[in-house]
Structure 1
Amino acid sequence: MNNLREVWSKRFVFYINELQKYMKFIVSGHLAIVIVFAIGALGYTYSGWLNTAPQDFPAYLVVAFILSILVTLSTPVTLLKNADSVYFLPLETKLGEYLRLALRWTYFSSIVVTLAAYVVAIPLLTRVAGSTREEIIALLIFLLVLKYWSIHTEFNFRWAANGRGVWGDRFLRFLLVLVALYFLLSGSYLFVILVAIVQFIYTMAWVKKKKEVPFPFEHFIVVEQSRMMRFYRFANYFTDVPHIRGATKRRKWLDVFYKLARYGQKNTQLYLVMRTFIRTNDFFYLWLRLTGLAIIGAVFIPFPIVSIIFAAALSFATVIQIKHALLSGYEFRMDLLFPIEKDARKQSVASLIRILQFIQAAAVLIGVLIQGGNSPITFLVPVAVLIVSELTLRMNKI
């Protein structure tokens, strides 16, 4: 196939279909409820904070810092496959057309998150920092340009350096974007021009160096595989992804928890379920992330009702996903050969989830104590975690 545009079109269609196939499991159902509650809670908290925000709050610096991170993270989406390092070699002189399409999609797919953060930052800039309409529009145009510059600079750097030192490049681009955005927001346009000149020189240096080396197929193939694997691992929390296998880790320091499953035939499944949860990275880190988010919400959300809703939504998501993950495997296990009750595994999973959610509630209680809320309602946050977890466990049938 000599037409690389056609190659890209076919791969792009397959890629979109692959995303849609798994996104319908991710976005629908319980996660949609969590997202609605989380957005509502954060929006309510943010709106309330804007009414009481101090006038000396460093709005320009905070907005520039957050947007700089989003602009800097610009990993190219190439959709390259393993065999391309061989089959694309005769077409290497025509590879530019394929890569232009890849970078175009990278830009339009990644700019969405940056624009979402920009929209969220508008009330902060107008109500706290006093930015004008013209300055807000100028920031939008500047963000669109900076994102384009960041994507192409990272791509040229990866090509020229064969993927070595990527984080050093990202740190440097982050500093340049941060300084440029801060000067733009503060009205120092002369310094913005100076930073833009530095950015242009930096990019052109890597463009020139890129021409001296061949295209590093292996590096971009690895980047693409890693990117898709991250998506598949995330999708695997919600549905079975056939071609993914979760990584495991010993975690010897958690062996003390196995003592909760006392020696005996009736606790066989509980012991096996504990080992599966603790040693499987996907399950363990999923619970750890959601618990961490619940703690952060308990510490930083100043409104008790919002904090209760936020923690309850996260506990709901935790129970649903952990229960589905531990019960959804249909592979043969050695424990199936032993005379164990039919529902022993379901009961053991329920027992493990109750232990986990008790720990999560205790961690949220610590977050409430750290916040130092004077209202007794704040102590309902860990109670909500336990109640919602138990109701979800009883009502959800898998």
Structure 2
Amino acid sequence: MNNMHNIWKMRFGHFVNEVQKYMRFIVTGHIAIVFVFVAGAAGYQYSEWLKVAPASFPAEWLVAATVGILLAFSRPTTLIKEPDQVYLLPLETQMPVYFKKAVNWTFWSQLIIPAVVYIVTIPLLKTVTELSSLQIWLGLAFIIALKYLNVVIEFNYRFANRGQAIVVDRLARGLLSILAIETALTSSVYLAAIYLIIFFAYKMSLQKRVIGQPVPYEHFVHLEQNRMLRFYRFANYFTDVPHLRGTIRRRAWLDSAYKWIVFSSKNTQLYLVFRTFIRTDDHFYLWLRLTAIAAVITAFVDIAIVAWIVVAALAFATTLQLKVALLSNGEFRMDMLFPIAPTQRLKAVEKLLRITSVVQSIIVTLCAIAQPHFYMIPIIIIVVSELTLRLSKK
């Protein structure tokens, strides 16, 4: 196993399998339907706005700022693991072969987002600017070149500096990327090539600093662990990730939520369930995130049927996932030692979820108050949540 091509191939295969294992729970039928409706509604709103977009709208700067910021965030994906700090030391001279494959994968995997964002803005550029189709597509090629340079630069910067002051590096690259894209769109790609030369010179200087330095295994291990942890936390909103343990926060500003619970043995589970929901990051942020998504969509989408479908799907997802999470018996709890009826926890969870659905409906309705038929939104959220509670497995 001393061939770097084989090591990368094995690591990459394991990574793909791990992602696919959880993505099948994330990309489900109802989520796909929501995405289709949201994309359709967003596309319709976008096309309608383009009809009245003013000619003075700063489209070039908007595109340059959005894409430039995305280009600056080029965190490398190395798939380095903690044992590599010991077992790959004898092969350190061969690591450039491994890292070349890592940089290439980072580039191709991260290119999708800025490229899609730019392509989505092409109708805007054609509407409010005088750019030809050739200039617009040359702009896309320019962005691809910038992305590759950003990826290589961030990798070499992290290698040379162990990730220290990476914010300063990103800020500099972000500003240069914005200016480069704006110049390519307003002047010419040839003039913007000056920025490519600056990026290339910066890349070469970092590559010279990397030569002879030991591989910063600890930094790359830390990056990989955090990257996979973010993915597992996201996946945990859709399915149970066994090795993931959520963090606990007190959230003292919500202590008043417990005061209305009467001190009584019959309310033991209700009190515990409320504390579990409020203090567990996974549960609380799941509800907060889905509520925020529903609020933002209903605030900007003025197609009633689309807004209703979205809030119904998100209400269903919120109730179902919180119910499963709060009724999970995977861990030992102290209340299991006391003579409390088993049905108490189910009733407590259902009461909590009815309250959260009401709060969610109020927040989303207030955000959608300027939209047509907004009064239907709280009814839909509460009805869907109640049906989910009653029809889902206990």
Q: Does 1:200 align with 2:196?
A: no
Asked if 2 retains the 8 angstrom alpha-carbon contact of 1:30 and 1:320, the reply is no
Residues 362 and 333 of structure 1: is their aligned pair in 2 closer, same or farther, counting only changes over 3 Å? same
Residues 382 and 332 of structure 1: is their aligned pair in 2 closer, same or farther, counting only changes over 3 Å? same
Q: Does 1:363 align with 2:363?
A: yes
Asked if 2 retains the 8 angstrom alpha-carbon contact of 1:41 and 1:310, the reply is no
For residues 34-84 of structure 1, the C-alpha deviation after alignment (integer angstroms, 9 at most, x for no partner) is: 323332332232232223322222222222222122222211111111111
Asked if 2 retains the 8 angstrom alpha-carbon contact of 1:8 and 1:98, the reply is yes
Residues 135 and 347 of structure 1: is their aligned pair in 2 closer, same or farther, counting only changes over 3 Å? farther
C-alpha distance in structure 2 between counterparts of 1:81 and 1:107, whole Å:
20
Q: Which moved more, 1:57-66 or 1:8-17?
A: 57-66
Same amino acid, percent of matched pairs: 47
Equivalent in the alignment of 2:41: 41
Name structure 1 gaps, 5 residues minimum: none
One-letter amino acid of the structure 1 residue matched with residue 194 of structure 2 = L
Shift of residue 21 of structure 1? 0.8
C-alpha distance in structure 1 between counterparts of 2:29 and 2:335, whole Å:
32
Asked if 1 retains the 8 angstrom alpha-carbon contact of 2:315 and 2:384, the reply is yes
Q: Does 1:322 align with 2:318?
A: no
One-letter amino acid of the structure 2 residue matched with residue 392 of structure 1 = T
Q: Which moved more, 1:44-53 or 1:64-73?
A: 44-53
TM-score of the superposition, structure 1-length normalised?
0.92
Equivalent in the alignment of 1:397: 393
For residues 130-160 of structure 1, the C-alpha deviation after alignment (integer angstroms, 9 at most, x for no partner) is: 5322122212211211111111010011011
Asked if 1 retains the 8 angstrom alpha-carbon contact of 2:156 and 2:207, the reply is yes
For residues 77-102 of structure 1, the C-alpha deviation after alignment (integer angstroms, 9 at most, x for no partner) is: 11111111111111111100000111
Asked if 1 retains the 8 angstrom alpha-carbon contact of 2:22 and 2:235, the reply is yes
Q: Does 1:387 align with 2:372?
A: no
Asked if 2 retains the 8 angstrom alpha-carbon contact of 1:294 and 1:311, the reply is yes
Asked if 1 retains the 8 angstrom alpha-carbon contact of 2:277 and 2:283, the reply is yes
Residues 351 and 131 of structure 1: is their aligned pair in 2 closer, same or farther, counting only changes over 3 Å? farther
Name structure 2 gaps, 5 residues minimum: none
Q: Which moved more, 1:132-141 or 1:81-90?
A: 132-141
Equivalent in the alignment of 2:11: 11
Q: Which moved more, 1:346-355 or 1:207-216?
A: 207-216
Equivalent in the alignment of 2:163: 163
C-alpha distance in structure 2 between counterparts of 1:14 and 1:333, whole Å:
35
Q: Does 1:55 align with 2:85?
A: no
One-letter amino acid of the structure 2 residue matched with residue 385 of structure 1 = I
Q: Does 1:275 align with 2:275?
A: yes
C-alpha distance in structure 1 between counterparts of 2:28 and 2:365, whole Å:
30
**Number of positions where the alignment pairs a residue of Structure 1 with one of Structure 2:** 394
Equivalent in the alignment of 1:182: 182
Shift of residue 190 of structure 1? 5.2
Asked if 1 retains the 8 angstrom alpha-carbon contact of 2:298 and 2:364, the reply is yes
Asked if 2 retains the 8 angstrom alpha-carbon contact of 1:77 and 1:105, the reply is yes
1:242-391 maps to which residues of 2 (within 5 A)?
242-369=242-369, 372-373=370-371, 375=372, 377-391=373-387
Tell me the C-alpha RMSD between the 2 structures. Answer: 2.0
C-alpha distance in structure 2 between counterparts of 1:310 and 1:136, whole Å:
34
Asked if 2 retains the 8 angstrom alpha-carbon contact of 1:315 and 1:388, the reply is yes
Shift of residue 212 of structure 1? 5.3
Shift of residue 30 of structure 1? 3.9
Shift of residue 169 of structure 1? 1.1
Alignment partner of 2:259: what SS?
helix
C-alpha distance in structure 2 between counterparts of 1:185 and 1:55, whole Å:
16
TM-score of the superposition, structure 2-length normalised?
0.93
Asked if 2 retains the 8 angstrom alpha-carbon contact of 1:365 and 1:381, the reply is yes
C-alpha distance in structure 1 between counterparts of 2:305 and 2:128, whole Å:
25
C-alpha distance in structure 1 between counterparts of 2:65 and 2:381, whole Å:
33
C-alpha distance in structure 1 between counterparts of 2:6 and 2:188, whole Å:
46
Asked if 1 retains the 8 angstrom alpha-carbon contact of 2:142 and 2:189, the reply is no
Equivalent in the alignment of 2:74: 74
Residues 387 and 123 of structure 1: is their aligned pair in 2 closer, same or farther, counting only changes over 3 Å? farther
Shift of residue 105 of structure 1? 1.1
Residues 138 and 164 of structure 1: is their aligned pair in 2 closer, same or farther, counting only changes over 3 Å? same
One-letter amino acid of the structure 1 residue matched with residue 317 of structure 2 = A
Residues 380 and 56 of structure 1: is their aligned pair in 2 closer, same or farther, counting only changes over 3 Å? farther
Alignment partner of 2:242: what SS?
coil
Alignment partner of 2:237: what SS?
coil
Asked if 1 retains the 8 angstrom alpha-carbon contact of 2:146 and 2:196, the reply is no
Asked if 1 retains the 8 angstrom alpha-carbon contact of 2:71 and 2:150, the reply is yes
Asked if 1 retains the 8 angstrom alpha-carbon contact of 2:41 and 2:303, the reply is no
